[in-house]
Amino acid sequence: MKQTVLVVGLGLIGGSIAMNVSKKEDVFIIGMDGDEDTLNMALKQGVIDQAAFNFKEAVIEADVCILATPISITIEYIHRLENIQLNKPLLVTDVSSVKNQVLEAANRLNNPLLSFVGGHPMAGSHKQGYTAAKPHLFENAIYVLTPSIHANEKEADRLKALFSETHARFLIFTTEEHDEMTAVISHFPHLIASSLVHQARGWEETHPYIKHLAAGGFKDITRIASSNPKLWQDIFFQNKDLLISMLDDWIGEMDKIKTYLSENEKEKTFKYLSDAKLYRDGLPVKEKGAIPAFYDVYVDIHDQPGAIRDVIGILAEEAISIKNIQILEIREGITGVLRISFATSKEQLKSKQILGQYHYEVMIQQ
Ligand SMILES: NC(=O)c1ccc[n+]([C@@H]2O[C@H](COP(=O)([O-])OP(=O)(O)OC[C@H]3O[C@@H](n4cnc5c(N)ncnc54)[C@H](O)[C@@H]3O)[C@@H](O)[C@H]2O)c1
Ligand SMILES: O=C(O)C(=O)C[C@]1(C(=O)O)C=C[C@@H](O)C=C1
């Protein structure tokens, strides 16, 4: 039997989820979004079957409701669910980056027809809105589920089945576990990235040329500072207590390095850097998330017209499909590195071998 799925918020995350759910034949998707252009695009592309403008009416129609709005709005929608007269069971999930207040609201729901399983796909982008949504966003990513007191394993399994086309890997955590881990691996790094940008901007007053010197390192570590400030304001305040305590840890960590430097502790500094390298190099490369997943090759190319086209052409000839491509650093007249990502290690190894035959210098990061 066809199930009706309501997606509220068709932005980067909601749009990407809807693109996956719509691949399933037994699903009818109702989409709702505050932005009319978004609804029209999703309808035109067949990502949703119907547009809704009234939350209550759409909820009554639905078997599953996915709340993919900014966190504070998601919490408001959860409160509104309580006052809707349902005539069939409704499974509700969300995609919020912080879970404590969302689950608090969900646990307070009293309608026995409602069940709630929190969700958070650990993949995203600094871009926002439906135009940034893509069906492969969650491929190989971890998708965390946090069941409320009104849900059991069966409901979590229903969501896994509904989201099977995302090719994400589902893990179940408690709200506390989720919020602590994401504070460390996502929210706090974001705060640091923004602070580094502020530091550079401050130095620009005395060194106006500073931004032209920003090469791979600065751009890599601060990419996420270009994300939607409204979304991150929400995330910071939802996870405020943990972020404040992590700031204390971080200040202690900075004090330690300050002491190493001021006391000329070269060995300790080396160990500090090499311990960090060891841990960073050991992060899982096959999983997407904080660190891009995929199977990458690094190709050294020269800064000359057609250099990238030549490399892509060789791979296309061999029918090897590229998942992502990025220029890491090309300076005028100097060689640069092209990072090409593949979905499988077989394609990665084959590309290395073929490009090697064309005398390209190709490296695979271990
Ligand atoms: N951006 C990421 O990397 C990322 C990753 C994982 C989870 N999340 C979570 O996903 C959620 C959405 O973030 P996003 O990045 O997709 O943001 P987004 O801005 O791309 O999308 C949000 C969408 O919600 C719509 N919207 C806003 N208010 C609404 C309302 N009252 N009713 C209906 N629609 C409304 C907007 O028009 C927009 O289309 C957030 O809760 C965020 O924590 C984000
Ligand atoms: O890749 C990015 O731009 C992201 O910020 C994605 C990211 C992350 O921190 O890894 C951001 C927030 C989400 O809740 C999950 C994923």
- The residues near 223 (Cβ < 8 Å, ≥ 6 apart) are 126, 193
Whether the CB of 10 sits within 6 Å of ligand 1: yes
Within 8 A by CB and 6+ apart from 345, the residues are: 295
Q: How confident is the model at residue 331 (pLDDT cuts 50, 70, 90)?
A: very low
The H-or-E segment that residue 292 falls in is none
* ipTM, two decimals: 0.98
Q: Would the CB of 11 count as within 6 Å of ligand 1?
A: yes
Nearest residue (by CA) to ligand 1, atom 9, is 96
Ligand 1 atom at minimal distance to the Cα of residue 69: 24
**3-class DSSP state for residue 48?**
coil
Angle (CA) 164-166-171 rounded to 5° is 70
pLDDT digits (tens, 9 = 90+) for 166-222: 999 999 999 999 999 999 999 999 999 999 999 999 999 999 999 888 877 898 899
User: Taking the CA atoms of the chain, what radius of gyration do you get in angstroms?
Assistant: 23
Nearest CA residue ID for atom 14, ligand 2: 97
The pTM of the whole model exceeds 0.90 = no
Token reading at 237: 């305040």
Identify the CA nearest to 67 among candidates 110, 27, 103: 103
Q: Of the candidates 357, 298, 363, which has an alpha carbon nearest to the alpha carbon of residue 329?
A: 298
**Beta-bridge partner residues of 361:** 300
* Ligand 2, CB cutoff 6 Å, lining residues: 97, 122-126, 186, 224, 227, 289-290
Question: Given a cut of 50, is residue 291 above it in pLDDT?
Answer: no
Q: Residues 24, 49: contact at Cβ < 8 Å?
A: no
Question: In 3D, which of 328, 331, 339, 337 has the Cα closest to residue 212?
Answer: 331
User: Domains, the chain, ranges and CATH?
Assistant: 3-173 (3.40.50.720), 178-282 (1.10.3660.10), 295-363 (3.30.2130.10)
Query: Which atom of ligand 1 sits closest to the CA of residue 234?
Result: 43
Give the separation between CA 92 and CA 141, rounded to whole angstroms: 21
Using CA positions, which residue lies closest to atom 8 of ligand 2?
186
For residue range 236-288, what is the model confidence (pLDDT) as tens digits? 999 999 999 999 999 999 999 999 999 999 999 999 999 999 998 888 765 55
pLDDT confidence bin for 363, thresholds 50/70/90? confident
